[in-house]
Structure 1
Amino acid sequence: MIDSAPGGVLVDPPITLTTILDETLADQAGPMNAMAWTDAEIDTAAAAAPSHADIFFHSFGLLRPGPQLAAVMTSELVIRSHARELLARLSTGADTRPATAVELFVALHHTGRRVPLHGAAAGLYFRLLLSAFPGQSATAGLADRQGHYESLYRDRIDDLEEDLRRRFTDAHRTLAATITCTGRHHGDLVACRYAASTRPLPERPQTAGPPRM
């Protein structure tokens, strides 16, 4: 439940990530852009962890934003943050089902437009902001404000975050139980743990790379 304990520090309505979230909503990018941003994050993750490149390649469907992000599908910052966190979980074998930081941030963002956030809820809002958009939001003023909330409400913020991540869990957000692969990714020969055999099937003429699964 959102914390509204008396004495909490009020998050004023204008504090709603105007320059990061609201302005990006004006950019009505199509689904192809969201796919391209996700692909770019997959490529970045694969370059950083080559041993997991095949897992990342076949995780495209898992990275698809869920209903929590439906209203902000056109935001590059949101789509990239969501994909980046899930790819990081895949690289360590962590559970991909709990909500990502950006999913929770967007939920609190919309809540904060209807009712003021106090105490632990306000602290979680800023914690998620810094986690989801580190390169965009890490200012000295924001860090100081977050430090204030953490010093007062850290345990309650932790509990609220755990509760919300569990509440917004997507039970179906896992790698497919069965993944088929011909041994080629986008037409290129690769060593993929999901290939039917170590010897890939003959290449077939195609206009685009095989779909990720």
Structure 2
Amino acid sequence: MDFDTIGTATAELMFRQVAATCGNYAEQHQWTEVEIAAAQQRHPAHADVLFHAFYLMQLTNARMCCEMLLRAHCRELLERVAAGEDTRPGTAVEVLLLTHRSSLAAPLTTAAVGLFLRMWKAAALPDPDNHAAVLEYYESTVGSDIDELETCARQSEQQDQRIPDPSPECAGEHLGQAVTCRYAPPS
């Protein structure tokens, strides 16, 4: 086998491994755009700001390539953008994934289980086993510990580079459509 064949085979293997880990980037891009469009419907006064927030929706964990996790991550960030809130602290999904990683190293404390359940609910993920009912118990018994743990976890998962561009370039077109955008130069 010559070098070109080995290189091609290696590249193909690497591409398959990346695709298996990250899923289909085109699908992820589409899910993000759908979430942005939905946020624009919820917050029409901020539609232009939300459009330009696309780059904030970066995956911060390979497990986020799952549709329900990526969409929940995007929804939370888009709500923060619309509200003018800080986008750097970890999202509920990022905290969920942190708790998952922690559970692989050691059993979770009662507060950590409560945090996991709280973040699941905050991310509005499907709850077929009605964990929300169990969350009430954790909130009533160790709620303040969960609050403290949540603060620490969101700080731990903070993405310092995840800040909106204060003046993105815009030609007055979004996805090929002429729009009124606060970032477009005056015409």
TM interval, short-chain normalised: 0.7 to 0.9
Deviation string, structure 1 residues 20-43 (Cα, Å, up to 9, x no partner) = xxxxxx896311111110000000
**Match among 86, 93, 106 for residue 95 of structure 1:** 86
Calculate the TM-score normalised by the size of structure 2: 0.84
- For these two proteins, the number of residue pairs brought into alignment is 168
Distance in 1, matches of 2:121 and 2:104, equals: 19
Asked if residue 35 in structure 1 is aligned to residue 29 in structure 2, the reply is yes
TM-score of the superposition, structure 1-length normalised?
A: 0.74
In structure 2, the residue matched to 1:137 is 127
Counterpart check, 1:50 vs 2:17 = no
- Equivalences for 1:95-134 in 2 at 5 Å? 95-134=86-125
Report the Cα offset of residue 133 of structure 1.
Answer: 3.4
Looking at structure 1, the residues matched to 178 and 71 of structure 2 have their Cα atoms a distance apart, in angstroms, of 27
Gaps of 5+ in 2: 1-19
* Structure 1 residue 138, shift from structure 2 partner: 6.0
After superposing on structure 2, the runs of 4+ consecutive aligned residues of structure 1 that deviate more than 4 Å are: none
Residue 178 of structure 1, CA deviation: 3.2
Distance change >3 Å, CA 159–CA 73, structure 1 → 2:
closer
**Alignment map for 1:1-20 (pairs within 5 Å):** none
Query: Is the Cα contact below 8 Å between 1:27 and 1:75 reproduced in 2?
Result: no
Confirm or deny that 1:183 pairs with 2:172: yes
Higher RCO, Cα 8 Å, sep 6+: 1
**Which structure has more helix as a fraction of its residues?**
2
- The residue type equivalent to 2:35 in the other structure is E
Partner of 1:82: 73
Stretches of structure 1 that go unaligned for 5 or more consecutive residues are: 1-25, 200-213
Distance 1:174 1:138 in 2: 35
Name the counterpart of 2:57. 63
Q: CA contact under 8 A between 1:82 and 1:102: conserved in structure 2? A: yes
* Paired letter, 2:181: C
- State the distance in 1 between where 2:165 and 2:149 align: 30
Q: Percent identity?
A: 36
Q: Which amino acid aligns with 1:48?
A: R
User: Residue 88 of structure 2 contacts residue 158 of structure 2 at CA under 8 Å; is this kept in 1?
Assistant: yes
Contact 2:111 2:142 in 1 (8 A): yes
Following the alignment from structure 1 to structure 2, what is the Cα–Cα distance between the partners of residues 174 and 166? 15
> How far is 1:126 from its partner?
0.9
Indicate conservation of the 8 Å contact 1:34/1:73, yes or no: no
Deviations 1:9-66 (A, max 9, x none): xxxxxxxxxxxxxxxxx89631111111000000001111111110011011011122
Structure 2 match to 1:174: 163
